[in-house]
Amino acid sequence: MRIIVQRSKESSVEVNKKVVGHINKGLVILVGFTLGDNEEQITKMVKKIINLRIFDDENGVMNKSLLDIKGEILSISQFTLYANTKKGNRPSYIEALNGKEAIKLYELFNQKLKEFVPVETGIFGADMLVNIKNDGPVSIMLEEI
């Protein structure tokens, strides 16, 4: 599982020119799955994400978590996080989990996040336009192997 976490002041996702997900202050999460990913890894990643101290405290130090600021999450499935560009110029996505299996993990991931914070999502497999107002910018890559 690979995840890009981006601190956001406001973000949204559109499908067919219609906003299907919108958050104010919080995190945009781009998430991709690979063979072998499972519920145990998802549970660990959810705990890591909601407790990641990347929001400023009163002194301007990144010391607060999503829970501390009562933030929201915009979760976007992104198989391209598993792009392999070692050979040639056309990325290979063979390491990305197939859609039938990935959607199950993606839905479980979002369900577990919703136990702690409000979560908006895009539409799995759709062509999406993601608008991110990256705060900082702060972008962190998490990987569970």
The reply to whether 80 belongs to the active site is yes
Considering the candidates 33, 34, 55, 79, report the single residue annotated as catalytic: 79
Considering the candidates 80, 109, 116, 124, report the single residue annotated as catalytic: 80
Largest CA distance in the chain: 48
Considering the candidates 78, 85, 109, 116, report the single residue annotated as catalytic: 78
Contacts of 126 (CB under 8 A, 6+ apart): 15
Which residue, among 38, 2, 27, 33, has the nearest Cα to 99 in the 3D structure?
Answer: 33
The reply to whether 41 belongs to the active site is no
The reply to whether 109 belongs to the active site is no
Q: How many CB atoms lie within 10 A of CB 132?
A: 19
Q: Are 66 and 117 in contact (CB under 8 A)?
A: yes
In b/e form, how buried is each residue of 82-100, taking b as 16+ CB within 10 angstroms? beeeeeeeeeeeeebbeee
Q: Are 79 and 32 in contact (CB under 8 A)?
A: yes
Element at 107 (helix H, strand E) = helix 99-114
**Residues assigned a catalytic role:** 78-80
